[in-house]
Structure formats: C-alpha cells, structure tokens
Chain A
Amino acid sequence: MTVSECGRIGRVWVPGETPLYSRGVLTIDQAAYDAVVAHARRDHPDEACGVVAGPAGSDRPERIVPMLNAARSPTFYEFDPTDLLRLYQDMDARDEEPVVIYHSHTATEAYPSRTDISLAQEPGAHYVLVSTRECGNDEGPVEFRSFRIVEGEVTEEEVRVVPAYGASKPQPMEQQ
C-alpha cells in the first residue's frame, strides 16, 4: 500500500517496529482530525482531551466532543465526572459510542504512557494521542497516532484521514 492509496498517515513506519498496517486502522474525516488537532494546540501546555462519538457499531468518528480537562495539567487529564455522565447519557440517547478517545501529550511523544495504559477502560475505542511538543499553541508539526489499548496491551494502528466518510467503504469493525 502506498501513502497515496491510504491517505495521510500519522507517521512513517520505522524498520524494526511492529508494522503499522498489520492490525487495525482508524479512518477519520478531515474535519474531525482538524478539530482534534486544533483543540490540542489551543489547550497547550495543558493536556487536551475529548471524544469523537459515532453511531454504535459504525466505527465512524463523526461528532467531536471536546471535554474539560478537570486536572488542568500539563501531565495529566481526566474528564470532569459530571461532564462524563452527561456525555455518556447524551451518547446513549443518540445511540452512539465513543469511537475515538483523544488526549494530547505536550512535552513527550504521541505514545500511550504507563498511566494511559493502566487507566484505559474502553476496549472498543481508538485511543488517539496528539503531541504538541513541537508546535505548542502555534501552527507547526503535530504527531497524531492511534492505538488500541486492551487489558494493558497497546497496538498501534494506521490513521487514515479521508475527505468525507461517504466515499469510502465502511471499515470492518474490530471491537464487536
């Protein structure tokens, strides 16, 4: 597969690593991708966090919901517990699920930390990490990477940014 076939990817595979394309894929449209990155830049140097919800079973992240980082910290994030309840009630009412759970790292790479791994409790979600260590609040390079985190095991997946969801075939579900 070439880069032009799969769209923009989060990063380049380095020999010796688990091949990026060997397992899952996150397909996300440009608007949602841009909104996640913009949120991460805006909240730098604190960690930004949120979800991109989508119809249950669709694996399609459609509705970005930026969340307040109750910790307001450069090294920790936590959804405010009251907002968390409202978010899940809202998703339930819309028959949605958290397709993407995202947060930023502001001084380190976009890879799950030990804290991220031990606290990950949505095995069906794509955990997206954005690193703003290079760009800060400004335009500039960001890392945007996606992972599955299931029972402490981290699996990186390809990130495919598409102009819109309509044109491409739905991706097979992994979490069902």
Chain B
Amino acid sequence: MAIEVRVPTILRSLTGGEKAVPAEGASLGDVIENLETNHPGIKERLVDSGDLRRFINVYVNDEDVRFTGGLETTVSDGDAVVILPAVAGGEA
C-alpha cells in the first residue's frame, strides 16, 4: 500500500491530469522526492530553499504539516497527503 497524494488542478499538468497519485516515503520530504522522480517539475512548485513554499498548503491525514514538522512530518503506508495552493491576495 502506498501513500495517496491529492494534486490540485494547477499541478495536474505534471501528473498527466491525475487528481491523485501514489507515492512512497517515510517523511513528507521523501514523498516529494518520490513525486519528483515520477512527475518531474513538481518539487520546485512545492519547495523553495529546503522548505515548503509559503503559499502551498500540505496536509497529512487532514493535519496542516506546518504544525507537525513541515517536510519532516512522518508518513506511512495508507496515509493521505493533500496539496492545496493557498487562496490569497489583496491590494497590498
């Protein structure tokens, strides 16, 4: 059993249109490396200078990883990872 990663619309051009793809790894960082192997270009959209991008939200089993260790968040088979770009903006 793998980890299921749900991919937002804007990144589906990198996953052949798939809404969800399987991945493997022991941490979120590993999962993203594994995604990059199968879907080149995706890592750069998620990670900048070794940390999650400010306007990308990632959840492991519905928990925002900002509160669970970021890229070091542990994951295991059967976990669900959701990637959602922030909905943000403003006149500033």
Instruction: Knowing A119-B55, A121-B10, A123-B9 are in contact, say whether A77-B86 is a contact too (CB < 8 A).
Output: no
Contact in complex: A85, B64 (CB < 8 Å): yes
Number of interface residues of B (CB under 8 A): 19
Contact in complex: B10, A78 (CB < 8 Å): no
A59-85 interface bits toward B, Cβ cutoff 8 Å, 1 = contact, 0 = none: 000000001000101011111011011
B interface: dominant SS? mixed
A95 to B57, CA, bound (A): 22
A106 to B87, CA, bound (A): 18
User: Residue of A at shortest CB range from B13?
Assistant: A123
Cβ distance B19 to chain A, nearest Cβ, rounded Å: 9
Q: How large is the interface on A (under 10, 10 to 19, 20 to 34, 35 or more residues)?
A: 20 to 34
Instruction: Knowing A81-B57, A121-B10, A122-B10 are in contact, say whether A116-B90 is a contact too (CB < 8 A).
Output: yes
Contact in complex: A78, B84 (CB < 8 Å): no
Q: Which residues of B contact A77 (CB under 8 A)?
A: 88-90
A107 to B86, CA, bound (A): 23
A101 to B87, CA, bound (A): 8
A101 to B89, CA, bound (A): 11
A108 to B89, CA, bound (A): 14
Nearest 8 CB-CB pairings of A with B: A75-B92, A76-B90, A121-B85, A116-B89, A78-B88, A79-B87, A105-B91, A108-B91
Chain B residues close to A by CB (< 8 Å): 8-10, 55, 57, 59, 62, 64, 66, 82, 84-92
